[in-house]
Amino acid sequence: MKIGIVGCAGRMGQMLVREVLKTDGAELAGGTEPEGSPAIGRDLGALVGADDAGVTVTDDPKALFQAADAVIDFTRPEPTMRHADLAAETGTALIIGTTGLSAEQEAEIGRLGEKTPIVLAPNMSVGVNLLFALTQKVAATLGIDYDVEIVEMHHRHKVDAPSGTALGLGRAAAAGRGVALDEAAVWAREGHTGPRKAGDIGFATLRGGDVVGDHTVVFAADGERVELTHKASDRAVFAKGAVRAALWCDGRAPGKYSMFDVLGLSVD
């Protein structure tokens, strides 16, 4: 399967290139960077310290979508929406790991998914998606007597907060309780906030160092506390999941999918 990478010279982009190069059944279709990038014209293999791959970095995403069976996008919301349009236009599968998308943008991606397979997930890690499923099940089992707090930490360069994964965990906890996250979320606390309200789902965001991604969901009640934790020490786990999702799209009908679909996870 021919897989392309947009934003291929970034940290995550390079990790994705390496993963495609070493994955059986996958072939590197190419990669793109914005116009003016010093990476343009370089061989993608050489870019990541591997043998020449025979394809070079370009600034033409449309040509990449035309050449690829699937494209993986871990960029930013604005370019991701342009890439989603290209995916729908060319019928190319699109794997989106971009975080910070608005509700309106996600809805538009759902509409574009009527024309081509699109996998959208706040986190491509197999372990994190298992954590999503467990969070929903535990929230449903424990009920409102257990206070839910979500704590996440990432490296100093991350620009969105809370992380997309933390938001996914919040949605999972809210779904387990049968409520909408927006109705229950407490995004930050400062000053004299008063006592905690029953049913709140709290978030705490930490930034520093080179932390790849730590997430903990705390269920706290009188007398006991249950904690579910995932710690990523290598971005390769996200790349592995994204390439797995791309291969899963081979022959798939158009639609908006999640990593639950890719992994066959269920919370029923």
Looking up tokens 């370009």 gives: 58
Distance CA 120, CA 240 (A): 15
From the list 154, 230, 240, 256, the catalytic residue is 154
β-pair partners for 226: 219
The answer to whether 158 is a known catalytic residue is yes
As to burial, measured by CB atoms within 10 angstroms (0-12 exposed, 13-18 middle, 19+ buried), residue 137 is middle
Distance CA 187, CA 156 (A): 19
Distance CA 190, CA 197 (A): 15
- Are 26 and 20 spatial neighbours (Cβ–Cβ below 8 Å)? yes
As to burial, measured by CB atoms within 10 angstroms (0-12 exposed, 13-18 middle, 19+ buried), residue 67 is middle
Distance CA 55, CA 190 (A): 51
Looking up tokens 């007398």 gives: 223
From the list 62, 115, 137, 158, the catalytic residue is 158
State residue 118 phi and psi, 5-degree precision.
-130, 120
Query: Which H/E stretch holds residue 200?
Result: none
Tokens for 27, please give them: 């072939």
The answer to whether 137 is a known catalytic residue is no
Least Cα distance to 213 among 257, 261, 168 occurs for 168
Q: Which residues are catalytic?
A: 154, 158
